Amino acid sequence: MTTAYFLILALLTVSWFLVGRQRASSIAGADPASLHSLPSYHGLFLAALICLPMILIFIVGAPLAERYIEARAFSGLDPATISDELGRSAVLRDIQSVLAGNYAGTATPELTTAASAYSSAASITSWLLLIAGIAAALVAAMFGFRLIGPEFRARNSVERLVKYILLACSAIAVLTTVGIVFSVVFETIQFFSKVNPIDFLFGLQWSPQTAIRADQVGSSGAFGIVPLVTGTLLITVIAIAVAGPLGLFAAIYMAEYASPRTRSIVKPILEILAGIPTVVLGFFAALTVAPFIRGSGESIGLSVSSESALAAGLVMGMMIIPFVSSLSDDVINAVPQSLRDGSYAMGATKSETIKKVILPAALPGIVSAFMLAISRAVGETMIVVMAAGLAANLTFNPLEAVTTFTVQIKTILVGDQEFDSAKTLSAFALGFVLFFFTLVLNFIALQIVKRYREQYD
């Protein structure tokens, strides 16, 4: 029915576009220049007049129709079976399978009645919707049709509409942020109605599995994020310890020493590395790096967890090298040549110039590059999901297993969730903390970069 509606919409749109264009051409007759706007703009104008009311009616009408259909279908049913969301959707599924003729078993008489009520309501509302849509569209189109004439500024109207559409496109970006905030904030508030925020922020134990026995920590699991913070921190520190020096030195070499030829070889290498999906790196971390570290650790008498923070951190560090290096490369390149020249003119060597002049000048940019890299590492999911464990150990030993925010979010939310349980909600609370933290970090970093660029522009 949705398909039919939109097919008719498309058909009307196209036909009225042609009508409008034809009408404008025939008004103009032999002198096309007598029209203010090109005939096709008149056509587009009518097409827009058809589209907008029909889409509007659908957006408003379809949910209303659905409510009405459900109300009709449920009217003859036992209120007990449809008292909650789950029951209602189960009944709806049954009705649909009865209508499709693939209901397993024999349908009860109530169900059959409900199904027929459902289908009659559905056909009535879909016809109503269609008629309303077409009527509104035709009224609008007739109104528009009368406007067509030499003086009518169809182009200006169409262009105004286009501009609003473009504005709407850029509003999507803002709406996405708003959507993210809403999706995490509501659930987080609900979560805090079940779990004390103080316990959440400062609790030393994380075990979201709702306890079965009453004597376990908290009757609804323990939601202290400190172990997650330390775990995330540990892995991030390892990652930055790898990516920081490597990325920065690579950037310095690329910006200051490398010949164009070297650059043209090394840049693609970094780009390839940056383009490798993290799930691939996770596979590598879990199946190659972790056993390797475990093996070499054991050969020198260390006991290493098979899901050590070190493996995940190392590979994550490798992942963010290109990130650090390309951002640092940019900021180093933005340092004006005059600063370098000044230093060389005093007889400084290249490395002295870099250490004493370029890096201090580029420092804000490099700091922000590191901040963005940290935010990337904290938010990275697949590598830690595959290579770091689930054990929420409160430790700073890189050879032990730790867990992170992203791992916990993924673990809690993948698979079947109980609605509104503290466990499910806790994932959103973690998501909120993660989003908030990375947002602040990114925001500060981007502001620093912006200020830095303005300084040298």
Partner 1 sequence: MTDIASTNDIPVTDTPRDALVKKRYRAERRFKFYGIAAIVLTALFLSVVLLDVLFKGIPAFSEYRLDLKVVADQALLDPQKTGDRTTLLAGNYDKIIRDALAAQFPDVTTRADRRALNGLLSSGAADDFRRMVSNNPSLVGQELTVPVLLSDDADQFLKGYQTNEIVLKGTGTLTQTLNGDAYALRSSGDDFGKAFQEIQAFLFQRLDRLHTEIARLEKTLQGMEGDAAESLRGQVDTYKAEAETLNARISDANTAIELDDKLPSLLVNVNGGTIKATQISPAGVDGTKLITPKSAEPASPGSWSILTLVTPESNRRVQDQAATWLEQLKASGTIERGFATRFFTSGDSREPELAGIRGALIGTLWTLAVTLILCLPLGVGAAIYLEEFAPKNRLTEVIEININNLAAVPSIVFGLLGLAMFLNFFDLPRSAPLVGGLVLALLVMPTIIIASRAALRSVPPSIKEAALGVGASHQQAIFHHVLPLAMPGIMTGTIIGMAHALGETAPLLMIGMVAFIVDIPGGITDASTVLPVQIYLWSDLPEVAFQAKTAAAILVLLVFLFVMNAAAIMLRRRFERRW
Partner 2 sequence: MNMLSEVDVEKKLYPAPDQPKAKMKGDNVSVFYGAKQALFGVSLDVPEKMVTALIGPSGCGKSTFLRCLNRMNDTISICRVTGNITLDNRDIYDPKIDVVQLRARIGMVFQKPNPFPKSIFENVAYGPRIHGLVKDKHHLDEIVEKSLQRAGLFTEVKDRLHESGTGLSGGQQQRLCIARAIAVSPEVILMDEPCSALDPIATAKVEELIDELRENYTIVIVTHSMQQAARVSQRTAMFHLGNIVEVGDTEMMFTSPTEKRTQDYITGRFG
Touching partner 2, residues 419-448 (CB under 8 A): none
Choose the stretch contacting partner 2; rule: CB under 8 A; options: 33-41, 86-94, 228-236, 372-380.
Answer: 33-41
The reply on whether position 288 binds partner 1 by CB under 8 A is: yes
**Residue among 74 and 141 whose Cβ is closer to partner 1:** 74
Q: Which long-range contacts (CB under 8 A, 24 or more apart) does 335-342 make?
A: 335/361, 335/362, 335/456, 336/456
Interaction pattern, residues 136-155, with partner 2; x per rule: CB under 8 A: -----------------x-x
The reply on whether position 174 binds partner 1 by CB under 8 A is: yes
**Residue among 206 and 428 whose Cβ is closer to partner 1:** 428
**Residue among 41 and 428 whose Cβ is closer to partner 2:** 41
Q: Which residue type is seen at 259?
A: S
Q: Which helix (H) or strand (E) holds 265?
A: helix 260-275
Residue 50 contact among partner 2, partner 1, none, beta carbon within 5 to 8 Å by kind: none
Choose the stretch contacting partner 1; rule: CB under 8 A; options: 106-114, 125-133, 276-284, 331-339.
Answer: 276-284
The reply on whether position 309 binds partner 2 by CB under 8 A is: no
In whole angstroms, what is the distance from residue 273 CA to residue 340 CA?
Answer: 31
Q: How many residues does the chain have?
A: 457
Choose the stretch contacting partner 1; rule: CB under 8 A; options: 25-33, 104-112, 228-236, 406-414.
Answer: 406-414
In whole angstroms, what is the distance from residue 426 CA to residue 48 CA?
Answer: 46
The reply on whether position 156 binds partner 2 by CB under 8 A is: yes
What DSSP assignment string belongs to 160-227? HHHHHHHHHHHHHHHHHHHHHHHHHHHHHHHHHHHS-HHHHHH-S-EE-SPPSSTTSSSBTBEE--HH
In whole angstroms, what is the distance from residue 307 CA to residue 20 CA?
Answer: 68
The reply on whether position 247 binds partner 1 by CB under 8 A is: yes
Decide: helix, strand or coil at residue 402.
coil
* Residue from the set 94, 187, 307, 400 that interacts with partner 1 by CB under 8 A: 187
The reply on whether position 161 binds partner 2 by CB under 8 A is: no
**Residue among 42 and 72 whose Cβ is closer to partner 2:** 42
In whole angstroms, what is the distance from residue 334 CA to residue 364 CA?
Answer: 12
* Residue from the set 29, 79, 101, 301 that interacts with partner 1 by CB under 8 A: 301
Both tokens of 239, joined, read 């990652």
> Minimal distance in Å, beta carbon 38 to partner 2?
5
Residue 385 contact among partner 1, partner 2, none, beta carbon within 5 to 8 Å by kind: partner 1
User: 334 with 343: CB under 8 angstroms?
Assistant: no
Residue 361 contact among partner 1, partner 2, none, beta carbon within 5 to 8 Å by kind: none
The reply on whether position 101 binds partner 1 by CB under 8 A is: no
The reply on whether position 27 binds partner 2 by CB under 8 A is: no
The reply on whether position 282 binds partner 1 by CB under 8 A is: yes
Both tokens of 50, joined, read 């058809």
In whole angstroms, what is the distance from residue 371 CA to residue 380 CA?
Answer: 14
**Residue among 155 and 194 whose Cβ is closer to partner 1:** 155
The reply on whether position 22 binds partner 2 by CB under 8 A is: no
Decide: helix, strand or coil at residue 249.
helix
**Residue among 33 and 345 whose Cβ is closer to partner 2:** 33
In whole angstroms, what is the distance from residue 292 CA to residue 295 CA?
Answer: 5
The reply on whether position 32 binds partner 2 by CB under 8 A is: yes
Decide: helix, strand or coil at residue 115.
helix
Decide: helix, strand or coil at residue 401.
strand
Binding site for partner 2 (CB under 8 A): 28, 30, 32-33, 35-39, 153, 155-156
